[in-house]
Amino acid sequence: MTIIVKKTTQLIAGMVFMYGIYVIVHGHLTPGGGFAGGVVIAGSFILVTLAYGGDFLKLVREESGTTIVESFATILVIMIAVSGFLFGTKIFFNNFLPKGIVGHLVSAGVLPLYNIFVGTEVAASIFIIFLSLIIFKEESPK
């Protein structure tokens, strides 16, 4: 890509990443949540990849790392769901943490944790679909 695209990417990509984290963390207060924020985070990675090419992120190793992160996030979501068994009543997806005050950042029990893990999982999934469609062509044997 040209120098204009690269410089603009340098300026924008970090802000896009931070905005994705904001959408995920404030998911139980404002519109948005794990899915939207995860896709925004994946968008920042896609921006960097499109501007600087496949070699910029050392993508051969990034690919296996992304699958591990995504599977790990899913396992964590299920483990948080199961951990309701250990505390309180025997209900799957029990909201066992204290609720707090409605409208504060630290409130709503386990819902922010669900948001964070689902966001991680969605970001990894979208990014690896993008990588498999774009990058695998380059490493195929001629």
Partner 1 sequence: MELAISIVTGFMILGALYAIHAKDLLSAVIACGIVGYSLVICFLLLRAPDLAIVQIVVDTITLIIMVAVVINSSREESYSRFDTQGYITAATGILIIGILLYFFIISIQSLDVLGKSSLRMAKYYIEGAAQKTGSANLVTGVVFDFRGYDTMGEAVVLVTAVLGVLTILRLKGKK
The first and second tokens of residue 121, run together, are 């999982």
Quote the CA–CA distance of 35 and 24 in Å, as a whole number.
8
The first and second tokens of residue 105, run together, are 């950042």
Query: Which one, 13 or 118, has the nearer CB to partner 1?
Result: 118
Query: Which one, 10 or 132, has the nearer CB to partner 1?
Result: 132
Query: Which one, 4 or 31, has the nearer CB to partner 1?
Result: 31
Going from the C-alpha of 10 to that of each of 2, 21, 24, 123, 134, the distances in angstroms are 13, 18, 23, 20, 21
Report the nearest approach of partner 1 to the CB of residue 12 (Å). Answer: 14
Report the nearest approach of partner 1 to the CB of residue 52 (Å). Answer: 14
Quote the CA–CA distance of 56 and 8 in Å, as a whole number.
16
Q: CB neighbours (10 Å) of residue 29?
A: 14
Report the nearest approach of partner 1 to the CB of residue 132 (Å). Answer: 5
Interacting residues with partner 1 (CB under 8 A): 23, 27-33, 35-36, 39-40, 42-43, 46, 50, 67, 70-71, 74, 77-78, 81, 92-93, 95, 99-100, 102-103, 107-109, 111, 114-115, 118, 121-122, 125-126, 128-130, 132-134, 136-137, 139-141
